[in-house]
């Protein structure tokens, strides 16, 4: 059994690779982080940064030819990345709740939402039909579905996009999960509905004590929801730390550029920051720091050696600007 201070999720030196005809492509490269009970970790980055692949690797849903080639994933101190298919499926059913971008991928259009909820509840409990239905009604009410007694026998197509996403969150909560992985849960929704879903996720995380991994490309969603944020670039962590520190005092030049590109209401900017260039393809990741061709603070070492995450003020960043050992050596 995990100790009191053991994080709910521990990801250690995770590497995900694809074996292709063009060789081995590394999509997630030596990524490590923890998420504690009741905490929301936001994982942010451009498309192709490795965010969703990291989430898929954690829950054993990598599509072939993708595979974990090294590292470990621990849930409540128990290693889960090397479990047989049936066991990891059981873990997903009992301990991990999933909320995806499109609610229709999680809901069967042929069954009422009530049936889908009660079936899930009964698969993982000993409740009878009446008790399971009462629990389903409770969950629908908890996620803010109005008139749950009337809506429980509706089909997914009879709900709006925002309401469907609420149903998916209720489905994820059926088994009182230890970890919720939410992959772009608000992307398909309009802004006012986004805000409601964000508030709901935060409240449920707090009330249920679940750990939440929130994957998104939207820094605004992260700022509203997350306690800490991990910024990914080209399959690696660029920076990780408390969300306000990363937003206000970004250390990595890439994070700095990301933050500078967000418009802030009430603050006039001459113009938003633009990061020149684009993230490299997996087949063309440069030697040294992957960000070096786009970085305004690049120096020779950046072109030759890949930096690991190191302390950088209130956050940690994979950037040679913060290599204290080298600074101490040069001062000595």
**Mean pLDDT of successive 10-residue stretches along the chain, which has 332 residues:** 79 96 94 96 94 96 95 97 94 90 88 97 93 97 96 96 94 91 89 87 88 92 93 98 95 91 60 80 95 96 97 96 69 41
The model's pTM is: 0.92
pLDDT at 326: 61
- Give residues with Cβ within 8 angstroms of 208, minimum separation 6: 173, 176, 177
CA angle in degrees (0–180, nearest 5) for 46-47-50: 90
**Residue 138: which H helix or E strand, with range?**
helix 129-142
Name all domains of the chain by residue range, CATH numbers in brackets.
9-95+175-275+287-331 (3.40.50.300), 96-174 (no CATH)
What phi-psi label fits residue 50: left (phi over 0), alpha (psi between -120 and 50 degrees) or beta? Answer: left
How many Cβ atoms are within 10 Å of 68's Cβ, its own excluded?
Answer: 18
**Residue 170: which H helix or E strand, with range?**
helix 161-173
- Half-sphere exposure of residue 129, counting CA atoms within 13 Å on the CB side? 1
Q: Which of 218, 102, 248 is nearest to 167 (CA)?
A: 102
Contact 161, 146 (CB under 8 A): no
* Interval 19-58: pLDDT, tens: 999 899 999 999 999 999 999 999 999 899 999 999 999 9
């Amino acid at each position: 059994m995990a100790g009191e201070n053991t994080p709910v999720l521990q990801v250690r030196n995770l590497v995900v690779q694809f074996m292709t005809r063009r060789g081995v492509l590394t999509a997630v490269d030596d990524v490590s982080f923890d998420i504690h009970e009741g905490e929301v970790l936001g994982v942010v980055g451009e498309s192709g940064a490795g965010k969703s692949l990291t989430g898929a690797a954690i829950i054993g849903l990598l599509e072939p030819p993708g595979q974990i080639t090294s590292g470990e994933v621990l849930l409540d101190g128990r290693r889960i990345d090397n479990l047989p298919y049936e066991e990891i499926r059981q873990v997903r059913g009992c301990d991990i709740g999933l909320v995806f971008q499109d609610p229709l991928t999680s809901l069967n259009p042929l069954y009422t939402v009530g049936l889908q909820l009660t079936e899930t509840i009964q698969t993982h409990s000993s409740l009878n039909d009446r008790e399971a239905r009462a629990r389903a009604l409770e969950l629908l009410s908890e996620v803010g579905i109005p008139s749950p007694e009337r809506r429980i026998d509706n089909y997914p197509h009879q709900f709006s996009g925002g309401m469907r996403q609420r149903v998916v969150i209720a489905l994820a909560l059926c088994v009182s999960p230890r970890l919720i992985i939410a992959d772009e849960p608000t992307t398909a929704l309009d802004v006012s509905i986004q805000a409601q879903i964000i508030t709901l996720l935060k409240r449920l995380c707090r009330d249920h004590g679940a750990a939440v991994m929130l994957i998104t490309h939207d820094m605004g969603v992260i700022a509203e929801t997350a306690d800490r944020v991990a910024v990914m670039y080209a399959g690696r962590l660029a920076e990780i730390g408390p969300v306000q520190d990363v937003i206000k005092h970004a250390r990595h030049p890439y994070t700095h550029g990301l933050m500078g590109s967000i418009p802030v209401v009430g603050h006039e900017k001459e113009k938003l920051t633009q990061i020149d260039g684009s993230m490299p393809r997996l087949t063309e990741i440069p030697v040294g720091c992957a960000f070096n061709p786009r970085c305004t603070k690049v120096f020779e070492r950046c072109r030759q050696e890949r930096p690991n995450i190191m302390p950088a003020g209130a956050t940690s960043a994979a950037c040679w600007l913060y290599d204290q050992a080298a600074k101490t050596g040069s001062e000595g």
